[in-house]
Chain A
Amino acid sequence: MNQDVNNGAAAPLLDVRGVTLQYKTSRHLVTATYRVDFQVRKSDRYILLGPSGCGKSTLLKAIGGFLSPTEGEIHLKGMRVNKPGFDRMMVFQEFDQLLPWKTVKENVMFPMIACGKCNRRKAAQRAEHYLELVRLTKFANHYPHMLSGGMKQRVAIARGMAMEPDVLLMDEPFAALDALTRRQMQDELLQLWEDTKFTVIFVTHSIPEGIKLGNRILLLSAHPGQVKAELAGIAEESADPARAAALEERINGMLFAGAPVAPSEAHHV
């Protein structure tokens, strides 16, 4: 994971400029993020990292086109994002993101057929290929309720990747998994990236996860989310455990600058 394939590309793949996001609850109008800027290049593993309430998930949903910014613009390949589309496939945290009435393979095929990108035969071929990548070939004809949480998330990842989107959006996909499965999934995701070099934006509130998975990290502050800093060249640091630990401390200090640090919050993987 040492080489980063992001040198040379002049125009960013995804351009987020001055994005302010607001949503209404039954009582308040909440500002989730305030004038956030960042650019993602092809084959980036871009991490949105911040404490809960920094609007990172909301930001990801805006990139997905599920809500529109009150201020600012999001451009993907120069086209303005204004509605959901299959060029930005989303992987959610919730296990119920799979369609329970379809088998694992049909789930992976579903977007390809629904959007008219492939016919059934081609979709089936691709689904088989990507199920093999996430090592679920044996479970192709199972229904989602027969799978463990980690397997469900792997199906969702395969479903997103099979569409070969411009960018894969992952909203804390491993947050609901147990710690052991989580580490395993992180390794697998990196291996998948080694194989296909897809572009991914990954939301997390875990600093070690961000360091392990990302090559660039955007740090957001809480209430409302604003950019604190952007860190590049993470992959080189995370190769060495001691340097990774130092980086973790540094990020922790940046995120909670001024605030007393609760050790239990700082260190959960």
Chain B
Amino acid sequence: MENYALILVGTVLVNNIVLTKMLGLCPFMGVSKKLETAFGMGAATTFVLTLAAGASSLINEYLLGADYAYLRTLSFIVVIAGIVQFTEMFIRKTSPVLYQVLGIYLPLITTNCAVLGIALLNVQAQHTFLESLFFGLGGAIGFSLALVIFAAMRERLEAADVPAYFKGSPIAMINAGLLSLAFMGFSGLVK
């Protein structure tokens, strides 16, 4: 149990997928303009990432094994795309309201490199199925956390008096760097 808690804290704070591992930067910069959309994207990614981490772990263990390790990237991408599609259909049926909110972000997750990144990192770290699941969940929560924090910062930036040359993306990049530096402070948290 302690192990799983450690994985969760480790992936959310210490090895934050976006701010430390530098994965999934595209949605991090792209959908962080508004807090509302950041929440939506975070929720959708959390769902998909956790499922994808579990599914890819199962596939790696029972289908590919060591012999067909070279099929990992290919098969993981196929599985991720499938899960995203499935999630989209499922949400559309069960909760039209949620679909309205998440709708456009769901297909975007297929190309989120954090999803594939987590799946491959799971293999690299030789996680078991449960560990993979927690690793995925932690990574996803970390992603959502970074996204929401960053979106909140950018909303503030809109009102701030930024020099003309730094307006928009440049100051957002600088902010992302600072946020990343701040997260480095967590590196001493888990020994």
A binds B: no
